[in-house]
């Protein structure tokens, strides 16, 4: 018997006893009257008790079984359980507790609802009722669902014919019961209203694609895609695989947009077809390439996976089919905009509409309805227009593009109109402004820089706009937009396209009237290249850090030639950007040297904003600095936000509070998801923090090691995705150590072999035996050797790595490598016994070692070795040098070469062409000068050569 029925019975007994006593025990008429009233009330209550006892629900079923493949939703379950507990408090709910869950198709609402029901089963001893309110566009009748509910509550009893009677009976049955009702796939609140139980001890879980919370008077829980760790758990649960192939698993999950239904579909295909995760990842990669290039021939792999993903497209189709014709066309055309997020006004040119306010309002309404149906996601406010931004899930974009291609619409003209309107959105101070309301927004490029987050969101559109304005002859707009493109490296943007944009912008800047135009474009170009390491691939050279330094040095020198305050700011910016690139590469001492130069310039002109950034960057570069000041207000200044968060995490890391440092970085990650370079750097630092924690804290090491593997593999995938081979080598080095921490020696060896192969293609500036990148791989190699039992080899490798970290002012790297070797400090014999300084290297090249002849050219090469790793470190910072070849018996081309002499890397080979002009002894001397101060740094005499007469002279 339920508690309510039991209490009612007690009330009947007490009322009856008191009523009899008053009626028969007193002669007073008022007492007898009151007794009759109490007896009548008790009789009525007894009748009610009989009814309640007859209609009390039976136990429907035991606790629902756990879904074997349900994983990765612990946080969401906990959040809903807390919401349930809050609503149970007195006064919080007048009737049954309602827990609505909404989200996009395929996000896992039904699975979460069932698991939540399982978790709450003990709270509802009278059982659970489940109903699917409709699938694939079909709505189940309310009468049918009520009939099933009544049959479950009272088996064998007749079910009323009308829906109203069924609803009344359902409410009556649940009035005093403790039943949990699950209403899955609700369309709207009307479909739910009559299916909600009346008892205050009941609860109902409602899932829907729409937010039904306001209509139901409660807050709906929006279910989003899981985080990467949760998605990995889902994939492994479906494929029943061990924790391996993380990099390919992460690629699969990323290409599926972490959508649980898609993860399940691909996981089922992996099991059914007995294919590995690498093959599945390749199939999705080719499928994505096929979407980008429709004329490309489909392969077997991507064709099969396309069929497996059909279940996802069917769910999207069921929502798409409910759109109006205008909404469907808008949904399809928006997929042409290849940016991470978009604003509603973009539909105006795509649809060929006028830019009047009526059209803008209608367009905003259409996009808002698409978001209500979960076909688009909200992505925050647009910093320029103040409008809401929206984004496509990758599979929803693929669906829209497929529908668009199937419609036969010519997409050339919509995109041409889009580019024209986009260009008109930019104007220069002094030009005629657009008519009010004629454009969704306009931005005066000369008055203020474009907001950082807006540039990241619009990067691909801006890139196209640079080339379009160049073709249209709008020189100043061209270079001003390009000057904003250096602070981000978006995913899947070909660096060759970006470099082409900088090149045309440089031409336009050089021919304009602004004396600082070319410097600003050079700064943007240098910033972009500083985020990416150079490498060689299939015979093609891709520029990276070396060219970034060259461009930024040129910009600094040009700014230094002008005495204006603005030029001083630009020179400070150039040095700060050089320092930023050095920090990313691990050259901490050199970075601090450049930051010091930048700080002096910024202080001289009173540039407080730049000084603040420099102070934060110096915390990362200098181990002893810990002061970071107050956090920035808001996130509008993206660079300040990033520098503060990174510095804060670094201070916490030095204090040994790895979890707090990880929390700071995890909070930073969503703000820079659209900047692949920063996102990858954050992920890699999170992996390093997990390894620090693994070494220091022996509690829960299995979980910590696994998270280190996940973050390193995720960073590797992000670096590879944006073709940053240097970052990929660094990530593999960390991944090797993380895998060893998880006792996965075979996987670690495989990753180390890949890393060493990749490193050979990295630009020489970053790959030599004094480079931090080299030290990172030596650290990984040392831990591998230790695992295989080669203790002596492991110690040599680890001490060598620690020595390089020491030379670059990286105490964390030094201490970590030494700890792996079981040492607390560098041994005295670790330092080189060679004399300090750098030795010149010169050579002569001629064909087949033939004698030197008058008039026949030969080449002379020159370089300088890296400094020896002695206890006295060389001065920090690079310098610009001039190399000259002097001779009194030959013509030399060129007479001098300018180069950057890095503090640790060997000097790039400097080659001269020499043509003897007379026979006899030929003396040559190479002189090295400081290009800024003119001081002679080094002089090298080459061995004397004998020149013979030319063949013509001999014949004569």
For 937, list phi and psi in degrees, rounded to 5: -100, -35
- Indicate if the pLDDT at residue 807 is higher than 80: yes
Q: What is the DSSP secondary structure assignment for residue 293, as one 8-state letter?
A: -
Query: What single DSSP character describes residue 790?
Result: -
* H or E segment and range at residue 583: helix 565-585
How high is the pLDDT of residue 857? 92
Q: What is the pLDDT of residue 358?
A: 64
The conformational region for residue 436 under phi > 0 = left, psi -120 to 50 = alpha, else beta, is: beta
Phi, psi of 368 (to 5 degrees): -65, -40
Confidence of residue 7 (pLDDT cuts 50, 70, 90): very low
CA dist., res. 654 & res. 661, Å (int): 9
What confidence tens digit (pLDDT) does each residue in 750-759 have? 999 999 999 9
> Which residue, among 112, 187, 84, has the nearest Cα to 145 in the 3D structure?
187
Confidence at residue 285, expressed as pLDDT on a 0 to 100 scale = 87
H helices of 436-494, where? 452-457, 459-471, 475-482
SS3 state at 406: helix
* pLDDT the model gives residue 751: 94
pLDDT digits (tens, 9 = 90+) for 647-659: 999 999 999 999 9
* 291/392 Cα distance (integer angstroms): 15
CA distance to 102, 104, 331, 368, 740, per residue, from 323 (Å) = 19, 15, 9, 12, 53
Show the tokens assigned to 852. Answer: 């030197």
- Whether 552 and 574 have beta carbons less than 8 Å apart is answered as yes
Asked whether the predicted pLDDT for residue 747 surpasses 80, the reply is yes
Condensed to tens digits (0 to 9), the pLDDT of residues 288-307 reads 877 666 555 555 555 566 78
Checking DSSP bridges between strand 936-941 and strand 924-930, what pairing results, if any? antiparallel
**CB atoms < 10 A from the CB of 274, how many?**
8
Residues β-bridged to residue 183? 131, 206
Distance CA 176, CA 2 (A): 8
128 touches 181 (CB < 8 A): yes
Phi and psi at 186, nearest 5°, equal -75, 145
Average pLDDT over residues 797-805: 95
Write the CB contacts of 435 (distance below 8 Å, at least 6 apart in sequence). Answer: none
Can you give the pLDDT at residue 17? 47
Is a pLDDT exceeding 60 seen at residue 543? yes
The pLDDT, as a whole number, for residue 51 is 39
Q: Identify any residues that bridge with 883 across adjacent strands, giving them in sequence order.
A: 897, 928
- B/e letters for 437-461, b = 16+ CB within 10 Å, e = fewer, are eebbeebebeeeebbbbbbbbbbbb
User: Do residues 730 and 773 touch, judged by C-beta distance below 8 A?
Assistant: yes
Residue 890 has pLDDT above 70, yes or no: yes
Give kind and range of the element (H or E) at residue 939.
Answer: strand 936-941
Among 140, 113, 105, 112, smallest CA distance to 129 is for 113
Contact between 494 and 460 under an 8 Å Cβ cutoff? The reply is no
Q: What is the mean pLDDT of residues 318-341?
A: 93
* Pair 63, 123: CB distance under 8 Å: no
What backbone torsions phi and psi does residue 430 show, to the nearest 5 degrees? 100, -20
Residue 186 DSSP SS3: strand
Instruction: Please tell me the predicted confidence (pLDDT) of residue 834.
Output: 72
Q: With a cut of 80, say whether residue 951 has pLDDT above it.
A: no
How sure is the predictor about 829, in pLDDT bands with cuts at 50, 70 and 90?
Answer: confident
Show the 3-state SS of 869-884.
CCCCCCCCCCEEEEEE
Check residues 26 and 847 and name the one with the higher pLDDT.
847
Torsions phi, psi for 590 (to 5 deg): -65, -35
Hey, how many other C-beta atoms are within 10 angstroms of the C-beta on 172?
A: 13
* Whether the Cβ atoms of residue 126 and residue 232 lie closer than 8 Å to each other: no
pLDDT value of position 453: 87
Half-sphere exposure of residue 922, counting CA atoms within 13 Å on the CB side? 25
Instruction: Pick the more confident residue, 717 or 429.
Output: 717
Which segments of 624-668 does DSSP mark as H helices, in order? Answer: 638-654, 658-668
Contact yes or no for 330/386 (Cβ under 8 A):
no
Residue 410's pLDDT band (boundaries 50, 70, 90)?
confident
Greater pLDDT, 622 or 681: 681
**What is the mean pLDDT of the segment spanning 186-203?**
90
Per-residue pLDDT, 430: 47
Do residues 146 and 138 lie in contact, with contact meaning Cβ atoms separated by under 8 Å? Answer: no
331: nearest Cα among 385, 398, 258: 398
ω into residue 894 within 30 of 0, thus cis? yes
pLDDT at 587 over 60: yes
Output the average pLDDT for the chain. Answer: 85
Tokens of 205: 């879980």
Q: pLDDT at position 450, please?
A: 76
743 φ/ψ sector (left φ>0, alpha ψ -120 to 50, else beta) = left
Helices 228-239 & 246-255, crossing angle to 10 degrees?
Answer: 110
CB 621 within 8 A of CB 588: yes
Q: What phi and psi, each to the nearest 5 degrees, are found at residue 254?
A: -65, -45
- Of 658, 648, 663, 657, the closest CA to residue 688 belongs to 658
947 three-state secondary structure = strand
What is the pTM assigned to this prediction?
0.86
Cβ proximity of 240 and 709 under 8 Å: no
List own/partner pairs for 260-263 with CB under 8 A and 24 or more apart: 260/106, 260/107, 260/108, 260/111, 260/225, 260/226, 260/231, 260/234, 261/105, 261/106, 261/107, 261/108, 261/311, 261/312, 261/315, 262/106, 262/309, 262/312, 262/395, 263/231, 263/234, 263/235, 263/238
Chain position carrying tokens 């495989």: 750
Residue 952, pLDDT above cutoff 80 = no
Residue 38: the pLDDT is: 47
**Which range (139-153, 436-450, 770-784, 937-951) has the least confidence?**
436-450
The percentage of the chain sitting over the pLDDT mark of 70, rounded to a whole number, equals 87
Per-residue model confidence (pLDDT) at position 309 = 87
Q: pLDDT at position 49, please?
A: 43
67 — pLDDT class (breaks 50, 70, 90):
confident
* Contact yes or no for 248/278 (Cβ under 8 A): yes
Range in 59-63, 375-379, 389-393, 720-724 the model is least confident about? 59-63
Phi-psi region of 837 (alpha: psi -120 to 50; beta: other; left: phi over 0): left
Cα dihedral 263→266→271→275 (10° resolution): -130
Residue 433 banded pLDDT, cuts 50, 70, 90: low
Length of the chain measured in residues: 956
Question: What dihedral angle (degrees, nearest 10) is formed by the CA atoms of 296, 298, 303, 307?
Answer: 40
The residue among 146, 190, 140 whose CA lies nearest residue 168 is 146
Mean pLDDT of 555-565: 88
**Which residues fall within 8 angstroms of residue 827, CB to CB, at 6 or more apart?**
799
């Amino acid at each position: 018997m339920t508690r309510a029925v039991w209490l009612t019975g007690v009330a009947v007994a007490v009322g009856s006893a008191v009523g009899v006593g008053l009626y028969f025990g007193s002669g007073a008429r008022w007492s007898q009257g009151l007794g009759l009233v109490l007896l009548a009330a008790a009789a009525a209550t007894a009748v009610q008790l009989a009814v309640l006892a007859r209609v009390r629900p039976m136990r429907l079923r035991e606790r629902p079984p756990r879904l074997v493949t349900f994983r990765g939703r612990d946080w969401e379950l906990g959040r809903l359980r807390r919401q349930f507990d809050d609503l149970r408090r007195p006064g919080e709910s007048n009737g049954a507790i309602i827990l609505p869950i909404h989200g996009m198709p395929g996000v896992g609402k039904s699975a979460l609802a069932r698991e939540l029901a399982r978790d709450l089963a003990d709270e509802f001893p009278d059982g659970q009722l489940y109903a699917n309110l409709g699938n694939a566009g079909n709505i189940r009748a309310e009468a049918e669902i009520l009939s099933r509910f009544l049959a479950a509550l009272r088996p064998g009893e007749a079910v009323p014919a009308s829906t109203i009677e069924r609803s009344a009976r359902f409410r009556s049955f649940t009035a005093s019961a403790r039943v949990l009702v699950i209403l899955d796939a609700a369309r709207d609140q009307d479909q739910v209203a009559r299916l909600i139980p009346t008892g205050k001890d009941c609860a109902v879980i409602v899932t829907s694609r729409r937010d039904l919370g306001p209509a139901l008077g409660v807050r709906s829980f929006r279910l989003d895609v899981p985080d990467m760790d949760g998605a990995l758990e889902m994939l492994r649960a479906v494929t029943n695989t061990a924790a391996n192939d993380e990099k390919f698993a992460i690629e699969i999950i990323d290409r599926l947009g972490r959508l649980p239904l898609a993860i399940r579909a691909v996981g089922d295909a992996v099991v059914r077809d007995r294919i590995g995760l690498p093959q599945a990842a390749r199939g999705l990669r080719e499928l994505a390439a096929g979407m980008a290039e429709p004329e490309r021939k489909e392969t077997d792999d991507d064709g099969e996976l396309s069929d497996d993903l059909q279940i996802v497209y069917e769910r999207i189709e069921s929502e798409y089919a409910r759109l109006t014709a205008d909404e469907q066309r808008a949904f399809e055309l928006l997929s042409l905009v290849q940016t991470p997020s978009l604003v509603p006004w973009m539909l105006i040119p795509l649809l060929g509409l006028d830019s009047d306010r009526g059209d803008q309002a209608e367009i905003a309404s259409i996009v808002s309805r698409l978001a209500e149906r979960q076909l688009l996601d909200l992505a925050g406010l647009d910093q320029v227009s103040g409008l809401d931004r929206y984004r496509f899930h990758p599979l929803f974009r693929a669906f829209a593009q497929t529908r668009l291609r199937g419609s036969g619409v010519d997409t050339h003209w919509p995109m041409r109109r889009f580019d024209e309107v986009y260009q008109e959105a930019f104007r220069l101070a002094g030009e005629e402004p657009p008519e009010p309301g004629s454009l969704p927004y306009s931005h005066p490029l000369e008055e203020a820089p474009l907001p950082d987050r807006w540039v990241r969101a619009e990067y691909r559109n801006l890139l196209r706009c640079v080339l379009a304005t160049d073709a249209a002859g709008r020189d100043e707009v061209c270079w001003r937009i390009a000057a904003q493109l250096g602070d981000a490296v978006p995913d899947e943007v070909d660096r060759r396209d970006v470099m082409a944009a900088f090149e045309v912008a440089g031409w336009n800047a050089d021919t304009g009237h602004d004396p600082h135009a070319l410097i600003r474009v050079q700064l943007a170009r240098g910033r972009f290249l500083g985020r990416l390491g150079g490498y060689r691939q299939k015979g093609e050279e891709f520029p990276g850090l070396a060219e970034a330094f060259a461009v930024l040095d040129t910009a600094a020198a040009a700014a230094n030639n002008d005495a204006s305050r603005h030029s001083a700011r630009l020179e400070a910016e150039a040095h700060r950007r050089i320092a930023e690139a050095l920090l990313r590469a691990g050259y901490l001492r050199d970075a601090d040297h450049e930051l010091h130069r930048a700080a002096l310039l910024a202080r001289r002109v009173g540039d407080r904003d730049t000084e603040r950034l420099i102070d934060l960057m110096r915390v990362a570069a200098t181990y002893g600095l810990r002061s970071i000041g107050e956090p920035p207000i808001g996130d509008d200044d993206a660079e300040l936000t990033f520098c503060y968060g990174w510095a804060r995490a670094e201070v916490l890391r030095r204090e040994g509070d790895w979890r707090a440092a990880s929390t700071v970085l995890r909070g930073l990650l969503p703000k820079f998801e659209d900047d692949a370079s920063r996102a990858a750097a954050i992920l890699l630092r999170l992996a390093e923090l997990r390894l620090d924690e693994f070494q220091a804290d022996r509690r829960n090491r299995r979980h910590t090691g696994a998270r280190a593997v996940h973050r390193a593999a995720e960073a590797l995938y992000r670096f590879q995705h944006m073709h940053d081979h240097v970052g990929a080598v660094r990530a593999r080095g960390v991944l090797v150590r993380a895998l060893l921490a998880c006792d996965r020696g075979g996987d670690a060896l495989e990753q180390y072999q890949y890393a060493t192969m990749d490193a050979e293609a990295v630009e020489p500036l970053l790959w030599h035996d004094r480079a931090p990148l080299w030290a990172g791989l030596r650290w990984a190699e040392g831990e591998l050797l230790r695992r295989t039992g080669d203790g002596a080899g492991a110690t040599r490798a680890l001490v060598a790595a620690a020595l390089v970290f020491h030379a670059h002012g990286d105490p964390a790297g030094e201490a970590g490598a030494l700890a792996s070797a079981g040492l607390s400090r560098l041994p005295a014999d670790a330092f080189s016994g060679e004399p300090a300084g750098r030795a010149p290297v010169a050579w002569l090249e001629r064909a087949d070692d033939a004698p030197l002849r008058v008039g026949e050219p030969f080449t002379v090469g020159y370089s300088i070795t890296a400094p020896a790793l002695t206890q006295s470190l060389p001065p920090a910072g690079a310098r610009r040098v001039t190399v000259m070849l002097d001779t009194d018996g030959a013509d030399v081309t060129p007479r001098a070469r300018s180069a950057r002499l890095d503090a640790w890397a060997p000097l790039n080979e400097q080659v001269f062409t020499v043509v003897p002009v007379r026979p006899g002894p030929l003396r040559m001397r190479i002189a090295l000068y400081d290009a800024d101060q003119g001081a002679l740094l080094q002089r090298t005499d080459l061995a004397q050569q004998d020149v013979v007469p030319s063949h013509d002279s001999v014949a004569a």
